[in-house]
Amino acid sequence: MTSVRLGVLDQSPVPEGATGGDALRNTLDLARLTDQLGFTRYWLAEHHATPMLAGPSPEVLIGPVAAATERIRVGSGGIMLPHYSPLKVAESFSVLSGLYPGRIDLGIGRAPGTDTQTMLALQRDRRQPSPDDFPEQLAELLAYLNDDFPPGHPLARLAALPGRPAAPELWLLGSSAQSAAWAAEGGLAYAFADFINPYGAEYARDYRRRFRPSSGRSEPKVAVAVSVVCAATTEEAEYLATSWRAGFQMMLRGRLIPVPPPEKALGLLASLGLDPKAPLPGRRAIVGDPQTVRAGIEAVAEEYGAGEVIVVTITHDHQARRRSYELIANDAQYAGPG
């Protein structure tokens, strides 16, 4: 995979028959493996109130993952900022950066990562929904991290964060034109979730056109996150991918389940009258043998003009997920650390 760096987005999937604790231990195991394989970064996702995914607290998981690895960058993919105080996020990631200097990423997102009831439960004050003030939250977070409040600002003293001089690399995550605009205006690195919206290449181009250099970044930087299942044969990969497809289809119908084994997934998809190999509605996935996956990853990277592809893989069997990343790494030529 010439000149394309590879990263990992781990949603900590919970296989049917396993516990959330099992899924979290699988996360540590996969992090150690991908560190050894040469992946650039390892991001932890934030999802709430679902039996399929065990990662509601990336800020809690980052420390154990960083401690279990040696070289790979570790971060959030991402922290859903509307749920939190910008100061608390800045302090938490400053602590992590102080402990693991040069290895911590802070990926920020706007999406709730859950349903409206859980969103309200996450709030400290539940008398009314939180305001839609993401740009203001982001500006405050940047001021803490960059220590650039205007002179005399009442919050300026709070920018004396505990982990300095180390600091996280800040990314804005998104799947829309608006997120691209915010990343460009803020002079931030931008990671686009192609596995959510496969039509974002124009947004990435717009980000580069509108990018304004900032104190933290002089040039635009684009990564794209893609859904991948790789196996020795395309037939095997398609079989493994049925677990993720069935779980997603059930979620669309309001039935939240752990990741089913492929044999059960095939039955679920059949009961819904769906082709097990059919793409999910509005989603793109790269499924196949190593050569097919390599070509797919390279094509998406070229489409977005991205220097890095961040791979998210969900299978029922953890060993199959490990093997997917091994096959991708063994078939790749790395551009080097990011």
**Comparing C-alpha atoms, which of 13, 7, 9 is closest to residue 314?**
13
- Mean of pLDDT over the chain: 94
Q: Within the chain, how many helices (H) and strands (E) appear?
A: 11, 9
pLDDT of residue 213: 96
Structure token digits, residue 256: 């939240």
236-277, pLDDT tens digit by residue?
Answer: 999 999 999 999 999 999 999 999 999 999 999 999 999 999
Give the residue-averaged pLDDT of 2-7. Answer: 84
pLDDT of residue 124: 79
Q: pLDDT band at 113, cuts 50/70/90? A: low
Find out whether 224 and 198 touch, Cβ atoms under 8 Å: no
User: What does CATH list as the number for 5-235+286-330?
Assistant: 3.20.20.30
Give the residue-averaged pLDDT of 114-119. Answer: 79
- Write down the residue that tokens 């800040």 correspond to: 170
Q: pLDDT band at 336, cuts 50/70/90? A: very low
38-95, pLDDT tens digit by residue?
Answer: 999 999 999 999 999 999 999 999 999 999 999 999 999 999 999 999 999 999 999 9
Higher local confidence (pLDDT), 35 or 115: 35
Find out whether 302 and 9 touch, Cβ atoms under 8 Å: no
8-19, pLDDT tens digit by residue?
Answer: 999 999 999 999
Find out whether 45 and 9 touch, Cβ atoms under 8 Å: yes
pLDDT of residue 126: 79
Q: pLDDT band at 335, cuts 50/70/90? A: very low
269-324, pLDDT tens digit by residue?
Answer: 999 999 999 888 889 999 999 999 999 999 999 999 999 999 999 999 999 999 99
Distance of CA 93 to the CA centre of its chain: 16
Q: CA 237 to CA 328: how far, in whole Å?
A: 12
CA distances from 19 to 14, 28, 52, 61, 313 (A): 7, 15, 10, 16, 19
> Which segments of 56-103 are extended strands (E)?
73-80
Q: CA 26 to CA 14: how far, in whole Å?
A: 9
Q: CA 105 to CA 97: how far, in whole Å?
A: 9
Find out whether 4 and 328 touch, Cβ atoms under 8 Å: no
Note the pTM of the prediction, 2 decimals. 0.94
Find out whether 189 and 217 touch, Cβ atoms under 8 Å: yes
First-last CA distance in the chain: 15
Query: Which of 54-68, 128-142, 164-178, 219-233 has the lowest average pLDDT?
Result: 128-142
Structure token digits, residue 264: 């059960």
